[in-house]
Amino acid sequence: MQSVYRNLGRALLALLLLCPPGFAIAQGTTTRDAQTHFFDANTGDLKAELADARTAGKKAILLMYEQEGCPGCLFMKQHILNRVDVQDLYHRHFGSFTVDINGSVPLKDFGGRDITEKALSIRSKTRATPTFVFHDMTGTEIVRITGVVRDADEFKLLGEFVASGAYKLRPFAEHKQLQLKNKGS
């Protein structure tokens, strides 16, 4: 009987060693680095990113305003934005980029004007991090969520809320309550 357990242990160890880095067997989800797999490579030109997203049939551009040392930003990246199911949903519908609210990196805004990350953050009245701001295909802000989102299911619901156009009918908090009510009935 001991040899059966020993062989089972060896098989499990071999399986774990064969899994690619970033693969997690927890709660039935797989994860990978959020910075490289959730966010798109930022060219620094939001107007061009908007045009690319429009051509690709995306529904919106998502900007995540963050700052160094932000515990909420770290939580989002380590527990929600790192999930493959979340990454797949957001890549299907959105171009997603980070903006450092204290950053001096030069950008072109949605209108093609030169600006820094910090100046964009000030102009958009972003003071807390993380803040998630969705912009439609004209660059107009359509949905803003400030703070940590509870879990991956809620973040996916937020993505579906924007992608479906439900934001035109009601605020996200109301939409979320309606979805919970419908699940319960």
In a domain, 169, yes or no: yes
DSSP-derived secondary structure for the chain: -HHHHHHHHHHHHHHHHHSPTT---BTTB-B--HHHHTSPPP-SBHHHHHHHHHHTT-SEEEEEEE-TT-HHHHHHHHHTTTBHHHHHHHHHHEEEEEEETT---EEE-TTS-EEEHHHHHHHTT--SSSEEEEE-TTS-EEEEEES--S-HHHHHHHHHHHHHTGGGTS-HHHHHHHHHHHHH-
- Examine residue 38 and state whether it is found in any structural domain, yes or no: yes
So what's the pLDDT on residue 108? Answer: 97
Domain that holds residue 141: 33-184
Q: Is 4 inside a domain boundary? A: no
Q: Which tens digit of pLDDT belongs to each residue from 107-143? A: 999 999 999 999 999 999 999 999 999 999 999 999 9
CATH number for the domain spanning 58: value is 3.40.30.10
Is there a domain that residue 171 lies in? yes
**CA distance linking residue 85 with residue 32, whole number of Å:** 10
156 occurs within a structural domain: yes
* Overall domain count for the chain: 1
Domain contains 7? no
Looking at this protein, which amino acid is placed at residue 130? Answer: P
Q: pTM for the full model?
A: 0.83
Residue 2, domain member (yes or no): no
The identity of residue 7, as a single letter, is N
Residue 167 DSSP label? G
Q: Are 99 and 106 within 8 A, CB to CB?
A: no
| pLDDT, tens digit (0-9, with 9 covering 90-100), for 22-76 | 434 444 579 999 999 999 998 999 999 999 999 999 999 999 999 999 999 999 9
| CB of 146 closer than 8 Å to CB of 80 | no
Of 112, 113, 116, 84, nearest in space to 101 by CA:
116
Asked if the model's pLDDT at residue 172 lies above 90, the reply is yes
61 three-state secondary structure: strand
List pLDDT tens digits, range 140-150: 999 999 999 99
Count of beta carbons in the 10 Å neighbourhood of residue 134: 24
